[in-house]
Amino acid sequence: MIVKMKEVVLFTTVRSVDETILKLGKLGMVDIKETNQPNNGTLERRMEAVYRSERAIAVLREYGKKEKAAQKSTKYIAGDPKQLVDRILQTSEIRQKCQERLQDLSHQLDWFSTWGEKANAKDIDYLRKKGLYLRLYLLEKAAVTSLEGKHTLMKLQERNGKIPTVLITQREAEKLNHKEEALPKLPLEEIKRQIERKKRQLVEVERFLMDQTENIEWLESYRLLLNDQLGIQQAFEGMGDIEGKLKYLKGYLPKNTVSSFVAAAKENHWGYHIADPERPEEVPVYIKNPKWIGIINPVMKFIDIVPGYKEVDVSIYFLLAFALFFAMLVGDAGYGFIFLLVTFLLRKKLTGQMQVLIYVLSGATMIWGVLSGTYFGSEKIAALPVLKDLIVPQVASFGVDNVSFMMHLSFLIGAIHLTIAHSIRVVQFINSLKALSEVGWVALVWGLYLITEQLVLGKAMPEWGPWLFAAGAVLVALFSMESKNIFKSMGVSLANLPLSLISGFSDIVSYVRLFAVGMATAAVAASFNTMILPEGIAGMGIINLLMAAIALILGHGLNIALALMAVMVHGIRLNMLEFAGHLGVQFSGEAYKPFRLVSPEHGHNDGKSFVPKKYNNQ
């Protein structure tokens, strides 16, 4: 649910402003909004410091994944974390330049392997000065054949499908209509020497970065300190000023923390004013749900959207629908078991919410796979005695003609999903006549469902169907817009109604993707099985079995990847567009981010309180 917020204005004296900001950061309740725009470069410098520390940590983490060789450490002990960050970034730049130079030198070395180690760019330049021009080309066989007889050419041994060809001419302007090969800038021996030197330099650079991975934790603490300093600077520069004597800031805090804030304000002698927000569109959104609903948070953070302060928190509806959609779109009990197994094996690398979410999605997928008889797309597994008895024919993936039922089920799920959205709005507007328009929309949704069934599946509409439409249209026309001029509101509502009905019809039809994509996943899995094992495993040797197993892993791995992509596209879309659109949620909110200091070194900015790890590098 979306927690109610209060708007707060805090006043403090100029003399105590630093202490106030620090205590406010330790309190960690107020989402501060800028009163004034920052007008100096300090904030930019602090942002740059945070960015550089994050880059340095990212560089070290790249090396932290590699196994450290048994060798002496590069002797380097930083006096402070900023010095180490600068050294790491400088070393990273040197590494990149070394790699680029090695690539260039390797390209020049390849020239000699193509044109011969005795070839010399100086000799070609000497001949040019004497009036004899040699131009080098790598040509296709057909191109060489077409040019012979027209030019004086010398061909060398074919290399990588191309023929090294030398054009010999006394006319400087004579060239072939092909890309000419550039001459190396250095002689062969010098290139080899520089390659060896750059390789040694690259080894030293990478050894240094590998050694410094021991300081990642130290730099992480430093990054937290820099983030705190950045937050302090933003709070300070965003404060308003009253005649140079008082400073004030504006922000928002959850309603249930007001008493704690008031107690802190009295203790620290702050002036304050707390009121209900005047501009709801500017209020940050704080969503707080029970743990079992909070497991959907990783998905919400991934798509990075937040409902507006006056909108509805869709977390619980998203969770329930997403679990169903995931199960239907993936639809394979074998794939669900793989998700379950991988999550268990990687449980230490996943957050608690992510683990539980994947367990729920895996369980839902396995249940749907059992009911539909889908196990890695294999009909033989589904035909086993115990598993066969668990299949529901209406949703089975193989052996029955249930296309009409599955489309009917998809449309029904869509109608129920959209009905829930409008029912929520009925409760939302329960004290307003607008609630009646949402009741009308519930009627229209089911009317559109009946039309969809008639047009797509050929089912006759019941006699009461048109009356459902008529009642819904009347309620929407009369009560969808609140206005003193009832005729004007009815006119606008009636004008918008045709487009709304078309949109609603397409929304219900779009739920058929649940059936279509799920069927495609099962069909692709079955196709892989048929292609790789057309006659089963009988009579296959060990080598053939091994090759078939590898092919099956690759094929089903690709199908799993496609199924997960379908979940991200279709499963999220049905929640974020169709459902949210009917619920009136535009996700226009901004997440509540209270000003909070997290570093244990609050207030220190010289880094001297940090102690780097020492190396025993004798």
**What is the per-residue pLDDT across 7-34, written as a single tens digit (0 to 9) for each?**
999 999 999 999 999 999 999 999 998 8
Distance (Å) of CA 266 to CA 12, 253, 271, 578: 12, 17, 8, 49
> Three-state SS for 239?
coil
Look at residue 604 and tell me whether its pLDDT is greater than 50: no
Q: Tell me what pLDDT residue 42 has.
A: 85
pLDDT for position 493: 67
d(CA 521, CA 534): 19
Percent of the chain with pLDDT over 70: 92
Residue 272 has phi, psi (to 5 degrees) of -155, 160
Mean pLDDT across 198-215: 90
DSSP string for residues in 255-309:
GGGHHHHHHHHHHTT-EEEEE--S-GGGS-B-B---HHHHTTHHHHHHHT----T
Q: Indicate whether 387 and 264 sit together in one domain.
A: no
Structure confidence at residue 125 (pLDDT): 86
Q: What is the dihedral of CA 190, 194, 196, 199, to 10 degrees?
A: -160
Question: In this predicted model, what pLDDT tens digit does every residue of 452-478 receive, in sequence order?
Answer: 999 999 999 888 988 988 898 888 888
Residue 532, amino acid? I
Spatial distance between the Cα atoms of 170 and 151, rounded to a whole number of angstroms = 11
Task: Return the structure tokens found at 539.
Answer: 């009579």
Contacts of 99 by beta carbon, 8 Å cutoff, 6+ apart: 202
Closest to 508 (Cα-Cα) out of 409, 362, 390:
409
Count of CB atoms situated within 10 Å of the CB of 531? 11
Q: What does the alpha-carbon distance between residue 568 and residue 572 come to, in Å, rounded to a whole number?
A: 6
Q: Are 335 and 564 in contact (CB under 8 A)?
A: no
3-state secondary structure of 551: helix
Name the DSSP letter for residue 567: I
**Mind listing the pLDDT tens digit for each residue in 373-418?**
999 999 999 999 899 999 999 999 988 889 999 999 999 999 999 9
Does residue 198 carry a pLDDT above 80? yes
Token output for 237? 């520069």
41 burial type by CB count under 10 A (0-12 exposed, 13-18 middle, 19+ buried): exposed
Is residue 187 very low, low, confident or very high in pLDDT (cuts 50, 70, 90)?
Answer: confident
Report if residue 40 sits inside a domain: yes
Dihedral over Cα of 412, 417, 418, 420: its sign: positive
Residue 113 lies in a domain: no
Residue 484 has pLDDT above 80, yes or no: no
173, 197: one domain: no
pLDDT at 609: 41
pLDDT, position 7: 95
The structural domain count of the chain equals 3
Q: What is the C-alpha to C-alpha distance for residues 59 and 53, in angstroms, rounded to an integer?
A: 10
Residues 395 and 519 in one domain: yes
Mean pLDDT computed over 238-267 = 92
pLDDT interval class at 78 (50, 70, 90): low
Q: Dump the DSSP string for 355-396.
A: HHHHHHHHHHHHHHHHHHT-STT-HHHHTSHHHHHT--GGG-
**Is 15 found in the same domain as 146?**
no
Give the structural domain span for 569.
291-583
- Is residue 439 very low, low, confident or very high in pLDDT (cuts 50, 70, 90)? very high
Under the banding of pLDDT at 50, 70 and 90, the label for residue 612 is: very low
CA distance 224 to 187: 51
- Whether 538 has a pLDDT exceeding 60, the answer reads yes
Cα distance between residue 50 and residue 566, in whole Å: 37
pLDDT band with cut points at 50, 70 and 90 for residue 535: confident
Cα 59 to Cα 325: distance, rounded to the nearest angstrom: 39
Q: Do residues 442 and 422 touch, judged by C-beta distance below 8 A?
A: yes
Count Cβ atoms within 10 A of the Cβ of residue 102 and give its class: 0-12 exposed, 13-18 middle, 19 or more buried: middle
- At residue 68 the predicted structure's pLDDT band, cuts being 50, 70 and 90, is low
Domain boundary among 149, 170, 186: 186
- 205 and 154: one domain? no
In this predicted model, what pLDDT tens digit does every residue of 91-119 receive, in sequence order? 999 999 999 999 999 988 888 888 888 88
- Cα separation, 210 vs 221, in Å, equals 19
Using CA atoms, how far residue 557 sits from 367, 527, 554, in Å, is 21, 14, 5
Whether the pLDDT of residue 617 is over 80: the answer is: no
pLDDT value of position 488: 61
Domain boundary among 165, 186, 207: 186
pLDDT of 73 over the 80 cut: no
What would you report as the CA-atom Rg of the chain, rounded to the nearest whole angstrom?
35
Whether residue 341 lies inside any domain: the answer is: yes
> Is the same domain home to 474 and 501?
yes
Q: How far apart are the first and last CA of the chain?
A: 60
In a domain, 114, yes or no: no
With respect to residue 112, please indicate whether it lies within any of the assigned structural domains.
no
pLDDT in tens, 149-171: 888 888 888 888 888 998 999 88
Q: Helix (H, G, I), strand (E, B), or coil: what is residue 139?
A: strand
Instruction: For residues 282 and 296, state if they share a domain.
Output: no
Q: Are 595 and 32 in contact (CB under 8 A)?
A: yes
Biggest alpha carbon distance in the chain? 101
More confident residue, 7 or 432: 7
Q: How confident is the model at residue 35 (pLDDT cuts 50, 70, 90)?
A: confident
In this predicted structure, the answer to whether residue 137 has a pLDDT above a threshold of 50 is: yes
Q: Could you tell me the two tokens for 337?
A: 């078991």
pLDDT, greater one: 317 or 616: 317
What span, in angstroms and rounded, lies between the C-alpha atoms of 589 and 489? 28
Residue 479 has pLDDT above 90, yes or no: no
Asked which of 59-68, 345-354, 567-576, 582-591 is least confident by mean pLDDT, the reply is: 59-68
Indicate whether 393 belongs to any domain: yes
Average pLDDT, the chain: 87
Q: Where are the alpha helices (DSSP H) in 116-177?
A: 121-129, 141-147
Alpha helices (runs of H) in 81-187, residue ranges in sequence order: 81-115, 121-129, 141-147
Asked if residue 283 lies in contact with residue 277, where contact means CB atoms within 8 angstroms, the answer is: yes
Residues 560 and 468 in one domain: yes
Amino acid, single-letter form, for residue 176: L
174: which DSSP letter? -
**Residues 439, 501: one domain?**
yes
Q: Report, as an integer, the average pLDDT of 70-90.
A: 74
3-state secondary structure of 399: coil
Sign of CA dihedral 93, 98, 99, 101: positive
Closest C-alpha to 335, from 368, 299, 296: 368
Question: pLDDT tens-digit profile of 279-322?
Answer: 888 999 999 999 999 999 999 988 888 999 999 999 999 999 99
Instruction: Say if CB 61 and CB 178 are below 8 A apart.
Output: no
Q: For residue 130, is it within any domain?
A: yes
Contact 531, 554 (CB under 8 A): no
- Answer yes or no: are the C-beta atoms of 143 and 102 closer than 8 Å: no
Whether 116 maps to a domain, the answer reads: no
Strands 246-254 and 31-33: antiparallel
Q: Which amino acid is at 473?
A: A
Q: 77 and 55, same structural domain?
A: yes
DSSP-derived secondary structure letter, 601:
T
Specify burial of residue 13 (Cβ count, 10 A radius: 0-12, 13-18, 19+).
middle
Domain identity same for 553 and 599: no
CA distance 443 to 418: 11
Nearest to 138 by CA among 122, 160, 118, 116: 160
pLDDT for 181 equals 86
pLDDT band with cut points at 50, 70 and 90 for residue 607:
very low
Q: Do 378 and 488 share a domain, yes or no?
A: yes
